[in-house]
Structure 1
Amino acid sequence: MNRILATLALPLLLASCSNYSFHTNLDKENFTEYFKPGTVTVVDKAELEQLDYQVLGTVEGTSCQEQANQAVPVLGDARTDARRRTADLGGNALVLSQCLELQQTPGCLASITCYGQAMLVREPQQ
């Protein structure tokens, strides 16, 4: 009896779901922006001797705690922000100069800011 009910109910259940629509707030722009830092590699100054590169400019990345009930700033977030800004300049590599942890800066109870050079590293020619 249960098998018969399940056999009859399954097509009805599937048919009732056929008009189901799915909506999301994801769009191509959000997706591209989210993965942008992944296109930038952090390189060490010593590695530059072996690379063909162009300096695009100075960038900085910040992680800021604006209010006491927010999470404390994280070094990784500051580095990711600097990588995102490097990608915005068209770069694919970042050489970090230094990261500073600061307290009571304008707009932030605590912050970490990383400074570096945005680079465009060209692929070696075969």
Structure 2
Amino acid sequence: MKPLILMMPLLASGCANFAFNSNLDKENFDEYFKPGRVTIYDQADLAELNYLYLGTVEGESCQSDANQPVPNAGEARTLARRRAADMGGNGITIDKCAEYSDVPGCLKQIICYGQALKVAEQK
């Protein structure tokens, strides 16, 4: 009798018209992992690679309020890598990262500038 009582909620829920909705989306995954497909290269590495220059990219990290964490260069580089991937690139060189204070909208800001590249696969 006890096992039957324990199984009744399972049986009742199996007959219910239950739907599961989630915010998980393939596009969200693709967007999240996009920077991981872009390699950061040093200028010295480019001499040995076959690549195509796609354009200039930048990424920023901003502290818009005193209660937010301070900006960091890693976040700015990741955004620059995402923008390189949006251009069809799989590589990037970071030229420099600069820190600014009291710019409109940000108490502190770090911007990283770089070049998006399409690097040919090595055989």
Q: Same fold (TM over 0.5)?
A: yes
Q: What's the counterpart of residue 53 of structure 1? A: 51
- C-alpha separation between the residues in 1 aligned to 2:33 and 2:42? 22
Q: In structure 2, what is the equivalent of residue 112 of structure 1?
A: 110
Query: Which residue is equivalent to 1:17?
Result: 13
Q: Distance in 1 between matches of 2:73 and 2:12?
A: 50
The equivalent of 2:100 in structure 1 is 102
- Where structure 1 has 5 or more consecutive residues not aligned to the other structure, the ranges are none
Partner of 2:62: 64
Tell me the distance in 1 between the aligned counterparts of 2:11 and 2:98: 59
Give, in whole Å, the separation in 1 of the partners of 2:12 and 2:91: 51
Give 1:83 deviation, angstroms.
0.5
CA–CA distance in structure 1, aligned partners of residues 12 and 60 of structure 2: 50
Count of residue correspondences: 121
Moved more, 68-77 or 9-18: 9-18
Q: Percent identity?
A: 54
Cα RMSD (Å) of the superposition? 1.4
Give, in whole Å, the separation in 1 of the partners of 2:117 and 2:96. 16
Give the structure-1-normalised TM-score: 0.88
TM-score by length of 2: 0.90
CA distance in 2, matches of 1:50, 1:12: 68
- Over 3 Å off, 4+ runs: none
- Describe the SS at the equivalent of 1:69: coil
Give 5+ residue unaligned stretches, structure 2. none
12-21 or 34-43, which deviates more? 12-21
Partner of 1:82: 80
In 1, the alpha carbon distance for the partners of 2:75 and 2:65 equals 17
- How far apart in 2 are the matches of 1:63 and 1:110? 8
Q: CA deviation at 1:17?
A: 3.4
Instruction: Write out per-residue CA displacement over residues 39-58 of structure 1, whole angstroms, 9 at most, x where no aligned residue.
Output: 11111111111111001001
In structure 2, C-alpha distance between the alignment counterparts of 1:67 and 1:100, rounded to whole Å: 19
